Amino acid sequence: MEELLVKLLEAVELGKVDKKSPYPPQLKDQNGSNELTISALEAGIGPQDILEKALIPAMGRVGKKFSEKQIYVPQMLMSAKAMGASMIQLRPFITSGAVRTKGTFIIGTVKGDLHDIGKNLVSMMVEGGGWSIIDLGVDVGSERFLEALEKNPEAVIGLSALLTTTMESMKKTVSDIKARSLNTKILVGGAPVTQDYCNKIGADFYAPDPQGAVNYLNRVTIH
């Protein structure tokens, strides 16, 4: 059983989605995260153990490598895709409550901005860190964030912006959320965003990269 979890961790870390996937070359013709997750469940390994002993550590390694510039966006996307293949198998257990998540993370690219690669990376890394994700997509105005927050009042919110022209939208959304729910934690990020801007608009945390977002969320206590 332990060997299965080690192989699954490696598959996710290196971005091996399934047996027919040609990437990475060193794992050619070997089972990927999809088959290994199914095998782990069939072997009687609990979904919580699969999450905590394979997926979360794997994405932690990926995030650390990315932060240290040992890997870049394409490799990170492949790892995230492999993690996603495992999560498809685990999602029924999460939905039923058999798997406990650390909390809920609502994420979206702010109004007027259609860029989603950065948002998607953060979303996948956070899910791989053990959180439930509500991804609102792109061009998201304050009201949609507030609607999602009303249904998930203990959630943490993530706002992404890639254009300097949409940073005002980020500022407005932070203001609108804080006006409705002062204690809601708001995380911001994106190419033009800085720590100074985060402080200026009253957000709670600036994440320079996906692993920074995961690290912050791991410090947030959800009751």
Q: What is the pLDDT of residue 95?
A: 83
Comma-separated ranges of CATH 3.40.50.280 domains in the chain: 104-219
Chain region(s) in the chain for CATH 1.10.1240.10: 2-96
- Does residue 115 register a pLDDT over 80? yes
Q: What is the pLDDT of residue 223?
A: 41
Q: What is the pLDDT of residue 221?
A: 57
Q: Is the peptide bond before 24 cis (omega within 30 degrees of 0)?
A: yes
Q: Residue 2's CB: how many other CB atoms inside 10 A?
A: 8
CATH H-level, domain 2-96: superfamily: Methionine synthase domain (1.10.1240.10)
The residue with greater pLDDT, 95 or 151, is 151
Q: 104-219 has which CATH code?
A: 3.40.50.280
List CB contacts of 120: < 8 A, sequence separation 6 or more.
Answer: 80, 135
Residue-wise pLDDT for 21-63, tens only, equals: 999 999 999 999 999 999 999 999 999 999 999 999 999 999 9
**Token pair listed for 74:** 């394409």
Q: What is the Cα 210 distance to its own chain's centre?
A: 8
- The residue written with tokens 């990020």 in the block is 189
pLDDT in tens, 197-219: 999 999 999 999 998 999 999 89
Strand pairing report for 186-189 and 104-109: unpaired
Residue 196 has pLDDT above 80, yes or no: yes
pTM, two decimal places: 0.86
Average pLDDT, the chain: 94
222 pLDDT more than 50: no
DSSP string, 206-223: E-SSHHHHHHHHHHPPP-
Which pLDDT value is given to residue 189?
97
- The answer to whether residues 152 and 106 touch, using CB atoms and an 8 Å cutoff, is yes
Asked if pLDDT for residue 78 goes beyond 90, the answer is: yes
Q: What is the mean pLDDT of residues 77-96?
A: 92
- In the chain, % of residues over pLDDT 90: 85
pLDDT at 18 over 90: yes
**pLDDT tens per residue across span 142-168:** 999 999 999 999 999 999 999 999 999
**H-run or E-run covering 160:** strand 156-160
| Pick from 50, 71, 68: nearest CA to 7 | 50
